[in-house]
Chains A and B, each alone.
Chain A
Amino acid sequence: MTIPLLEVQDLQTVFHTEEGAWPAVSDIDIRLEAGEILGLVGESGSGKSVTGFSIFGMIDAPGEVTQGKVLFKGQDLRELSAESMRKLRGDRIAMIFQDPLMTLNPVLRIEEQMLEAIDAHQKLPKAQALQRCVEALAMVGIPAPEKRLRSYPHEFSGGMRQRVAIAIAMLNRPDLIICDEPTTALDVTIQGQILYRMQQICQAQGTALIWITHDLGVIAELADRVAVMYGGRIVETGTVAEVLDAPRHPYTQGLLNSLPAQATPGERLTQINGMAPSLSGRVPGCAFAPRCSRAIPRCVDEQPPVTTIPGRAFRCFVPLEAPAA
C-alpha cells in the first residue's frame, strides 16, 4: 500500500493567553491521497483555517502547534528545520487565501512576483521561467497572458486576481494546494470559473487539494471527500456522498437542514439554536452538545471518541442512524 500524500495525526494547535493555553484545534486526523480533493467544512470558530495554517506551518505566536504529526510523503513536517520547510512551501505545498492581496504584493508587477516564486525553488534561465509563467496564466484562463504579466495586481478584477494567485501557487507544480476560502468573496459566476479552472488543474497535474470553506454546495460539487469541523475538532468525515446523503453527526445534519435550498419555500427553516462557542467558552465534552437536540448529559462532560468504519469516521455518543445497507 502506498503511503498517502498527506497524513495528519493527532494535531493540536493552541493559542496562548493570560489565562492559559486554549486549544484552537485538537485531535485532528486527516488522510489525503495524491490527486484527491478534500473539503474542510466549518463555520467561523470551527478551526478550519487554523488547521490549514497548521499544516502549512504558518502558525505564529501567540499560537503554537503543540502536538501531532504532519506527514507529507512520509516525512514529518513538524520535525523539519525552518529552512527545509521554506523549501517545501511554494514548491511541493502551496496555499491560496481568501484575499488574493494576501498573496500578491500590490507594488510589484505580476511578472516579478511569479519569477520570484520560481526562483526561490529552482534556477531556471529567464526565458524558460517566463514561458512557464505564461503557461500558468493561460492555464487559469487569463486572456493575453504575455501582456498581462507586466500588469500590477490592482489592474485586475477580484476574480482575476484570485486566478493569478492560483497561477502562482501552481507554478512549481506542487503536490498539494491548501485553499482557504478562495471563492467566498467572489460572485457566483466568477466562482464557477475558478472552480472550473481548479478542477482542470487538479485533473491535469494530479494535484491534491484541501479546500477550506463554509459552503457545502461547493464541496458537494467539487470535492471527493469531506471533513466537517466544529469547535476545533473534526466531527465527521467520509466521501462527499456518504456525509451529505447520510450524515451521522447531528451537526452535519443540522447544517444541511438549515440550508434554504433544502427547505420548502415559505416555511420556517430548521435552525440550530444558539451560537458556536468561542475558544474559551467550550465545554470539556463535545463542543456541539449545548446546541444539540440529541445531547445526553454525558456529551457535555466527556469527549466522544472517534467511531471509525473504513473511510468513514465521526465523533458522537448519539449519532444518527446508519443508512440501511
Chain B
Amino acid sequence: MTAMTPPVIELRDVHKRFVSAPDLLQKIVGAVARQPAQTRTVHAVNGVNLQIAKGEVLGLVGESGCGKSTLGRVVAGLHPATEGQLLYKGQDVSQLGGQDKLAYTLGVQMVFQDPQASLNPRQKLHQILGEALHVHKLAPAAEVPGKVDAALAEVGLASEYRARLPHQISGGQRQRIGIARALMVTPEFLVCDEPVAALDVSIQAQVINLFMDLRAQRGLTYLFISHDLGVVRHISDKVAIMYLGKIVEMAPTAEIFGQAQHPYTQALLAEVPDVGRRKRVFTPIKGEIPSPLNPPSGCTFHPRCPHAMERCKQEVPRLRETAAGHVTACHLLD
C-alpha cells in the first residue's frame, strides 16, 4: 500500500473561544450593584475534527451563530485556535516558523462573503492584485503587470478593468477580483466563506462555475462555507453540518441529501425553499437559534428537536460512524 499523502488540512479537537472580560468600569458597577459583571465566553468552535484531502471540496453548512465562519478563519490562520491542533500538510501550524509559516499563510487563502468590504476601496484593481507579488517578491517588478492581466483574464475580466476602483465594478465582478487576488499567491487551499451569498442568482451561477473551473485547472482544495444547501450540494464532495460550534453530521454529498440522519439536517433540508414544490403547507421547526453565549445543555439542539429525549438534555452526543463515511452526533442513533 502506497504511503498516503497527509490531508491538506486537518483539524484535531479544535476549539475557538472568544472571551470578553469585564473592564474596570463594569467591575465597579458590578460591585456597587452587587451583581458581579460576568466574563462572557462565546464558544464559537467547540471541538471540531476534520480532514480535507487534496482536491476535495468539503461543504460546511450551518445557520447564523453556528461558528462556520470562525472555523473558516481558524483554518486560514486569521484566528489562532484556542485549543486543539491545526495541521497543514501534516505539520502543526503553531509550530511553524519563517519560510514554512509563510508557505502556510499563502498556501491557505480565503475568499470572503462581502464583495464590497473585501476590497480596499482606495486601491485600483491592478494594485489589489499585484500587491502580494511586490511584497513577497514573488515575481520581478517588470513581470507583475503581465501577471495581473493574466489573473484578470482567468476570472473572466478584460484587462481594461485594471485601472478601475472597486466601486466602479459590480458585485459579481468584485467577487471575482477577490478570487483572483487569492490566486495570485498560488495557494493550494481556498476557504470560501459564503462567496456567493451576496450575489444575484444569475451571477451566482457564473461564480460557482468559476470555482469549479479553477478547481479543475489548478487542482485546488476547498472548504466551501455556505448556508445555501443547493449551492453546497452542487459543488461539494463531502458535506458537514454545523450547529452551535459542533459538527453534528458529516457524509458524502449524496448521502447527506439522500439519507440525512440528524434531526437538524433533516429540518434544514425540509425548510430550504424548493422551486419544485408548490403551495407548501409550512410546518416549521420551533424555537429560535440559541445564542452561542448561552448554549442549551447536553445536545444543544434538544430544545428544537422534535424527537428530543431526556438523555438529550443531559448528555452531549458524540460523533459516531453510522454508515460508511457517514458520521452523526445524535442519541437517537445509538
Contact = CB atoms under 8 A, between A and B. Distances in A.
Direct contact of A and B (CB under 8 A): yes
Interface of A: 43-44, 157-160, 187-193, 195-196, 199, 214-218, 220-222, 224, 240-241, 244, 254-256, 258-263, 265-266, 268-273, 275-276
A17 to B, nearest CB: 17
Given A189-B63, A271-B206, A43 B201 contact: yes
Contacts of A191: 271, 273
Contacts of A271: 202, 205-206, 209
**A interface SS class:** helix
28 contacts: A157-B288, A158-B64, A188-B63, A189-B271, A190-B289, A193-B286, A199-B282, A214-B201, A216-B275, A217-B274, A220-B273, A220-B275, A220-B277, A220-B278, A258-B204, A259-B205, A260-B208, A260-B230, A261-B274, A265-B233, A266-B212, A269-B205, A271-B202, A272-B202, A272-B205, A275-B170, A275-B172, A275-B203
Contacts of A258: 201-202, 204-205
B140 interface: no
Interface string B193-210: 000000011111110110
B169 to A, nearest CB: 10
B231 interface: yes
Contacts of B203: 43, 275
B322 to A, nearest CB: 22
A179 B130 CA distance: 44
A272 B200 CA distance: 11
A261 B200 contact: no
A190 B288 contact: yes
A184 to B, nearest CB: 10
A268 B209 contact: yes
Nearest to B210: A271
Contacts of A263: 234
Contact of B288 (A159, A272, A273): A159
B212 A255 contact: no
Contacts of B283: 196
Interface in B221-236: 227-231, 233-235
Nearest to B228: A260
B46 interface: no
B195 to A, nearest CB: 13
B165 interface: no
Contacts of A268: 209, 212-213
A126 B230 CA distance: 49
A265 B268 contact: no
Interface in B264-299: 267-268, 270-286, 288-289
Interface string B295-314: 00000000000000000000
Contacts of A255: 201-202
A244 B273 CA distance: 14
Nearest first, the 3 closest Cβ-Cβ pairs linking A and B are: A217-B273, A258-B205, A196-B282
A221 B279 contact: yes
A226 to B, nearest CB: 11
B227 A43 contact: no
A63 to B, nearest CB: 22
B234 A195 contact: no
Contacts of A214: 200-201
A189 B278 contact: no
A187 B273 CA distance: 12
A273 B231 CA distance: 19
B253 interface: yes
A258 B203 CA distance: 9
Nearest to B270: A192
A260 B282 contact: no
B172 to A, nearest CB: 6
A261 B275 CA distance: 8
Interface string B146-188: 0000000000000000000000001111000000000000000
Most chain-B Cβ atoms within 10 A of its Cβ — which of A193, A195, A216, A221? Answer: A221
A45 B275 CA distance: 22
Nearest to B206: A271
Most chain-B Cβ atoms within 10 A of its Cβ — which of A241, A260, A273, A276? Answer: A260
Contacts of A222: 279-280
Contacts of B274: 217, 220-221, 261
B257 to A, nearest CB: 9
Nearest to B208: A269
Contacts of A254: 202
Contacts of B285: 189, 192-193
B273 A193 contact: no
B280 A261 contact: no
A266 B231 CA distance: 10
Contacts of B289: 157, 187, 189-190
Contacts of B200: 43-44, 214, 276
Nearest to A239: B278
A272 B209 CA distance: 11
